[in-house]
Amino acid sequence: MSRDTVIIVAGGEGRRLGGPLPKQFLPLGEVPVLWHTLLAFHRYDPSLQIILVLHPDWTGHWQKVSRALQPPIDYQITTGGETRFHSVANGLALAEDGGLTAVHDASRPLVSRELLERTFTAAREKGNAVPATAVHDSLREVTDDGNRPVDRSRYRSIQTPQIFPTRLLKEAFRQPYDPAFTDEATVVERLGEKIHLVEGEKRNIKITATFDLKVAEMILHSDPE
Amino acid sequence: MSRDTVIIVAGGEGRRLGGPLPKQFLPLGEVPVLWHTLLAFHRYDPSLQIILVLHPDWTGHWQKVSRALQPPIDYQITTGGETRFHSVANGLALAEDGGLTAVHDASRPLVSRELLERTFTAAREKGNAVPATAVHDSLREVTDDGNRPVDRSRYRSIQTPQIFPTRLLKEAFRQPYDPAFTDEATVVERLGEKIHLVEGEKRNIKITATFDLKVAEMILHSDPE
């Protein structure tokens, strides 16, 4: 049986002169955010093919800081492209055929084993799977002349990993780039596929600001898994 | 000059046999969530008229536990109705005319002085003000036969306090109840008013689950204001 693949995407952010270190390289607990992300997948399934997509500006940095990290994890590194679409396409070029491919944000280090189990299982059974959570705050849509209320119960917040058969994902990523391709679901959908949502989880936060890093520290402290 | 009013809404949740204590009565740091909420407005403007709307099942509980809390805060209590609309209407019955009325969720205890300043100032200048934040996760809309991607950059997460001239808010709440009235903005909008959004903030979280209470503890610890 073919093994499954995960593409961990950290390809977007280049090195800006004097700019802050992208959040995925900052420490969370004792190791960088990105190491937690790699570990979550490695621990879930040690046979998983792990492909890390890094912006070329950060490859050297990561190779240096990750050298001493434990336990050893077997993964491949490739470089990111102009957009997330191009970064995932670069990762897919290395993906082994025949299994499922999960695409996951490097900045979501706290994804639980349960969510991985649920999403991989659903993808196997339903053809694909994308984790989603209810929207808790009221929502408004910005319009040309102001804004209007929308019914939040009709909306879902989308997380990763987004999981698809590898062959299908490769076919989808052969389509020409479209700015409407904001995640993998939107790319696969363009082929006429329906997206299957599974229940996401609060701990699977995306770390984009210092605030989120503090929330992540809290989660790690109170529920380390 | 007339003073402004805040209506703090905790009217929705009745006492369920064996059910958990509603989150606004749970301790956050050393005092209940709701005490933080009252304090935030009291400290912002000690002359503010503060009206607390409580579900009748919890009035006795709150009066007992709040008796010893410091510093003393002058506020009125009224009882909640069937929905948030009815609870706010009950609060409005006590509001003094002539100033602004803010409506705020009891379960948002960590609203900052800066956000209160910004929202009251904008309401005074623009006619009303509602805090809103960008949506950071991808969004999907659930449809009759599945779900579809929507452009998250067109959406805003809505917070409280929502602030309006007291006379306008009273007029709006004389309209017959409609289930589409999910917050105060939707009620005022029905009169033909445009809603003015101001920048919200991450720390102004709504505590609806144990997870949120832990996030709130983290915020309180790292940035107590």
Domain layout of chain B by residue ranges: 5-222
Yes or no, beta carbons of B149 and A182 under 8 Å apart: yes
> Rounded CA gap, B5 and B137, in Å?
35
Closest A-chain CA to B217: A218
Size of interface A-B (CB pairs under 8 A): 106
B138, B195, B214 member nearest A218 (Cβ):
B214
Q: If pLDDT is split at 50, 70 and 90, which confidence band does A188 have?
A: very high
A132, A202, A214 member nearest B211 (Cβ):
A202
> Rounded CA gap, A75 and A34, in Å?
13
> Rounded CA gap, B59 and B64, in Å?
9
Distance of residue A25 Cα from the nearest chain B Cα, in angstroms: 20
How far CA B70 is from CA of B36, B38, B42, B66, B74, in Å, comes to: 11, 11, 12, 9, 11
Yes or no, beta carbons of B215 and A218 under 8 Å apart: yes
Yes or no, beta carbons of A214 and B218 under 8 Å apart: yes
Determine contact, residues B14/B55, Cβ cutoff 8 Å.
yes
Per-position b or e across A87-118, b if 16+ CB within 10 A of its CB: bbbbbbeebeeebbbbbbbbbbbbbbeebbeb
How far CA B174 is from CA of A136, B5, B80, B167, in Å, comes to: 27, 18, 16, 11
Residue in B104, B130, B155 to test binding to A, most A beta-carbons within 10 Å = B155
Residue that has been written with the tokens 């490695």 in this structure? A42
Yes or no, beta carbons of A140 and B132 under 8 Å apart: yes
> Rounded CA gap, A219 and A209, in Å?
16
Show the tokens assigned to A99: 């299994």
Residue B114 has a CB neighbour count (10 Å cut-off) of: 13
Please indicate if any CB of chain A lies within 8 Å of the CB of B205: no
Please indicate if any CB of chain B lies within 8 Å of the CB of A208: yes
Determine contact, residues B164/B128, Cβ cutoff 8 Å.
yes
Show the tokens assigned to B138: 């991808």
> Rounded CA gap, A172 and A179, in Å?
14
Encode pLDDT of A49-108 as tens digits: 999 999 998 999 999 999 999 999 999 999 998 999 999 999 999 999 989 999 999 999
pLDDT the model gives residue B21: 83
Peptide bond into A179 cis (omega under 30): no
pLDDT the model gives residue B223: 76
pLDDT the model gives residue A2: 82
Encode pLDDT of B162-194 as tens digits: 999 999 999 999 999 999 999 999 999 999 999
Q: Show residues of chain A in contact with B139, CB under 8 Å.
A: 135, 155-158
**Main-chain dihedrals φ then ψ at residue A34, nearest 5 degrees:** -60, -30
Those residues whose C-beta lies under 8 Å from the C-beta of residue A216, and which sit 6 or more positions away, are: A28, A33, A109, A110, A205, A207
**Main-chain dihedrals φ then ψ at residue A4, nearest 5 degrees:** -85, 165
Q: If pLDDT is split at 50, 70 and 90, which confidence band does B14 have?
A: low
Yes or no, beta carbons of A185 and B132 under 8 Å apart: no
Distance of residue B129 Cα from the nearest chain A Cα, in angstroms: 12
Yes or no, beta carbons of B140 and A150 under 8 Å apart: no
Please indicate if any CB of chain A lies within 8 Å of the CB of B222: yes
Amino acid sitting at position B156? R
B219 three-state secondary structure: helix
A177, HSE (Cβ side, Cα atoms, 13 Å): 11
Distance of residue A203 Cα from the nearest chain B Cα, in angstroms: 8
> Rounded CA gap, B37 and B33, in Å?
7
Please indicate if any CB of chain B lies within 8 Å of the CB of A142: yes
| DSSP per-residue letters across A160-182 | S-EEEEHHHHHHHTTSPP-TT--
* Beta strand pairing call for A138-143 and B155-158: antiparallel
B157 three-state secondary structure: strand
Please indicate if any CB of chain A lies within 8 Å of the CB of B65: no
B137, B141, B209 member nearest A206 (Cβ):
B137
pLDDT the model gives residue A17: 63
Q: Show residues of chain B in contact with A197, CB under 8 Å.
A: 140, 147
**pTM for the structure as a whole:** 0.91
Q: Show residues of chain B in contact with A199, CB under 8 Å.
A: none
Please indicate if any CB of chain A lies within 8 Å of the CB of B134: no
The dihedral region occupied by A29, where left means phi > 0, alpha psi between -120 and 50, and beta the remainder, is left
Please indicate if any CB of chain B lies within 8 Å of the CB of A47: no
B3 three-state secondary structure: coil
Determine contact, residues B5/B87, Cβ cutoff 8 Å.
no
> Rounded CA gap, B34 and B20, in Å?
16
Residue in B138, B160, B199, B223 to test binding to A, most A beta-carbons within 10 Å = B138
What is the residue-averaged pLDDT of chain B? 94
CATH class of A5-222: alpha beta
Determine contact, residues B47/B91, Cβ cutoff 8 Å.
no
Q: Show residues of chain A in contact with B222, CB under 8 Å.
A: 214
Encode pLDDT of B75-124 as tens digits: 999 999 899 999 999 999 999 998 999 999 999 999 999 999 999 999 99
Asked if pLDDT for residue A169 goes beyond 80, the answer is yes
Q: Show residues of chain A in contact with B150, CB under 8 Å.
A: 155
Determine contact, residues A215/A147, Cβ cutoff 8 Å.
no
- B83's enclosing H/E stretch is none
